[in-house]
Amino acid sequence: MNKKLLFSVSALVSLSPLVLSAGCSKKTNEQKYLDELIFNAEQMYKNANSEKHSQNSDLKTESEKLTPIINETKSVASKKDVKSDEIKTATDKLVKAVLEFQPKLDLANKKIYLSNAKENLSKRINLTQSEEEKQEINKYISDIDELIKSNNLEKITTLINKIKSRFF
């Protein structure tokens, strides 16, 4: 019994510095924010280069502009004795790049949504008995065709919301 107690106490004593150091993060809030921003930028990059966007060369080109900025920001974030000014500069640069890229990614994602909605609406026409409903669906399909060609994010979002509320 005493041997077990002695072993438990010695294990606890020997692990305590490790446990204490693992629980303590010396990162500032700015560094934590930068790490999260880097993670989000990398996720955006992966999304833009995923299979669903494989046909969108413009989006791929735009996403490639993120890579050097992400890498530069990662190098700042990984420094041990990084200055607050460096963190702020890197954060500002990455935020600017992400804010420029985000609407392009949103537009691409919404165009994919519209294409899928068009396909589903086309299938629905065949199942619909009412002539009025067929005309309504055809109107939505023509609106989709028109907006897929445009880059008006606001109008695309409005149409998506109308389609969601009406059909899905």
The DSSP call for residue 52 is G
Q: What domain range is 42 assigned to?
A: 26-167
Q: Please check whether residue 18 lies inside any domain of the structure.
A: no
21 pLDDT more than 70: no
Measured between alpha carbons, how far is residue 51 from residues 40, 55, 60, 63 in Å? 19, 8, 11, 14
Q: Is position 76 within any domain?
A: yes
Question: Is 134 within the bounds of a domain?
Answer: yes
The verdict on residue 21 lying in a domain is: no
Is-contact 15 58, C-beta < 8 A? no
CB burial of 7-21 (b: ≥16 within 10 Å; e: otherwise) equals: eeeeeeeeeeeeeee
How many domains does the chain fold into? 1
pLDDT class of 117 with cuts at 50, 70, 90: very high
129 Cβ contact partners less than 8 Å away, ≥ 6 residues apart: none
Tokens 């041990």 sit at which residue?
80
Cα 45 to Cα 60: distance, rounded to the nearest angstrom: 9
Count of CA atoms in the C-beta half-sphere (13 A) of 79: 14
pLDDT for 52 equals: 92
Mean pLDDT, rounded, of the chain: 85
Mean pLDDT of 69-78: 95
Distance between CA 23 and CA 26 in Å, rounded? 10
pLDDT reported for residue 25: 57
Residue 120 has pLDDT above 80, yes or no: yes
Q: Is residue 14 part of a domain?
A: no
Nearest by Cα to 144 from 116, 103, 168, 106: 116
- The pLDDT tens digits for 36-53 are 999 999 999 999 999 999
When pLDDT is cut at 50, 70 and 90, the band that residue 114 belongs to is: very high
- Residue 70: count other Cβ atoms within 10 Å of its Cβ: 19
On whether residue 60 sits in a domain, the answer given is yes
Would 19 be classed as within a structural domain?
A: no
**Burial of 159 (C-beta count, 10 Å sphere; 0-12/13-18/19+):** buried
Average pLDDT in the 17-23 region? Answer: 43
- pLDDT tens for each residue of 82-111: 898 999 999 999 999 999 999 999 999 999
Q: Is there a domain that residue 87 lies in?
A: yes
Residues in the chain: 168
Question: Per-residue confidence at 167, pLDDT binned at 50, 70, 90?
Answer: confident
